[in-house]
Amino acid sequence: MAKTDWTIQDSVLPKDMNQIGQEINDLGLSATVWLGTTEGSNTAYTVTSSKVSSLFEGLRVSFRAHIASGTNPTLQINSLGAVPLKKPNGRVAKLDADGVYTLVYDGTAFILQGEGGEYGSATAADVLAPKTIGTDNGIVTGTIPTQGNQFKSGLWSNPDGDAYVDTYVNIDGGYYPPGTQVTIQAYDPNLVSNNIRAGAKVLGVDGAPNVIDTYDDYNPATSADIVKHKRAFVNGQFVSGDIENYKGFGLTAQLEPKPGAYVGAKPHHSGLMDQTTEFTIGMPNKLPENIRKGVDIGGTVGTLVEGTPWATGTAPVSSGHLSFWVSDTQSRDMNYIQVSGLSFQPSVIVAKQGINTTIFKRGWNLTEYKYDILTLAVFTNPIGSFAGMPVQNRSPVSITNGSFLIPIHGIYSGTLEWWAFA
């Protein structure tokens, strides 16, 4: 440290002069050299100054930038070489046009003095308006608005299919101070009483009395259970009926046989009926001849006399002959009578003309599909008979259910009376 208490009597020694000179040199090194205004481009500033002959650590310079800096700017003093311009944090310095800056050379770069703190990543969109924030680009005014109370509306949705629903509304961006109220009104056009079951309440809306639960998993009705031209609501769907409505109509029915003394009446049509519906029951066999004599069945009085069926009538003797077999080897040409329209198959036939009577009986040799017609009795005219001689079915003899054709021996014309018994 140089002496500072000199008096008139003190002698100045050489060492004292050296000390003073050294301090003068040190003072020069710590002084800031004014370089004036730069020239060159925005990325390569240049300046000429007689005050700087070399670059050394600690060299302090000041200058005015003639234009704003571009990318990675440098400064060259005289011809000492281009030196990068940096901030204290090592980032690239940014200069404005006509800005005056002081820099210190650290051996590799000129370090900008008076700034260079960390700025972070905030931008204007991250800062409340009208607040400002320092950035690499200088002071920036925030753009986040401060919001007040809000009222928003939207539609309900239920994307998950559960008991929870979501409402989607547009919330204005900005800052909501504590105590701010945002009212959200959810809207769904289907949230009405007629869409809610009676007795239930959904978000304050009561169900309509006419909306009831129609689901029946056990035994739901079908169209076959509902009257035609009527509809029912079954498990959430309308079902149209198929049952015909015959209330008060006259219907026809047909009897069906049943065990015992009863019969069942089956209507010709099925459907809905009541006590006024009238049935007409068809009984095609309810005829007098099918009902025992004197018995009244449904207003029909019978005329049937029970016993073996029989019939009688007359038949002309044929004018021609047929060859009837009277034995296994012999046949005869004989006249015959033929009768049809019987309601049974005769077993015994009696034919008579005057006092001549012939009785024929159906034989039993069925396995050979033939009938033996035998004269059992002949009265008063043995010449006109063929006593005991069989006439077999392989001849034209025919006794069927409803008709017969039999030979008449010895009677050649006229009409015969006949009786046929089952």
List the beta strands (DSSP E) in 163-285: 166-168, 182-187, 201-202, 205-206, 231-234, 237-240, 250-257, 263-267, 278-282
Nearest CA-CA partner of 369 in 407, 339, 399: 399
The pair of three-digit structure tokens given for residue 279, joined into one six-digit string: 């049935």
Question: In this predicted structure, what is the pLDDT of residue 385?
Answer: 31
DSSP sequence for 352-413: EETTEEEEEE----GGGT---BEEEEE-S-GGG--TT--B-TTTT-EEETTEEEEEESS--S
Q: Is 406 exposed, middle or buried (0-12, 13-18, 19+ CB in 10 A)?
A: buried
Residue 32 in contact with residue 62, Cβ under 8 Å? Answer: yes
Q: Which pLDDT score, from 0 to 100, does residue 163 have?
A: 76
212-to-220, 305, 384, 386 alpha-carbon distances in Å: 15, 69, 99, 97
| Residue 97 or residue 245, greater confidence | 97
Question: pLDDT tens for residues 53-76?
Answer: 899 998 999 999 999 999 999 999
State pLDDT tens for residues 248-275. 665 566 666 655 555 566 665 666 666 6
Asked if residues 185 and 153 have their Cβ atoms less than 8 Å apart, the reply is yes
> pTM here?
0.33
Tokens of 298: 């449904």
Structure tokens at 356: 């001549």
Please calculate the CA angle 81-103-48 and round it to the nearest 5 degrees. 45
Q: Name which residue leads in pLDDT, 16 or 317.
A: 317
**8 Å CB contact between 62 and 87:** no
pLDDT of residue 102: 93
Higher confidence at residue 412 or residue 315?
315
pLDDT at 256: 62
Could you give the percent of the chain with pLDDT greater than 90?
A: 19
Query: What is the Cα–Cα distance from 222 to 225, expressed in whole angstroms?
Result: 5
> Is residue 21 a contact partner of residue 91, using CB atoms and an 8 Å limit?
no
Residue range 107-154, pLDDT digits in tens: 999 999 876 556 777 888 888 899 888 777 778 898 889 888 888 888
pLDDT band at 39 (very low <50, low <70, confident <90, very high): very high
Alpha-carbon span 327 to 419, nearest angstrom: 26
Average pLDDT score over residue span 193-206: 87
Look over the chain and give the mean of its residue pLDDT values, rounded to a whole number.
76
Greater pLDDT, 203 or 320: 320
With contact defined as beta carbons under 8 Å apart, do 35 and 83 qualify?
A: no
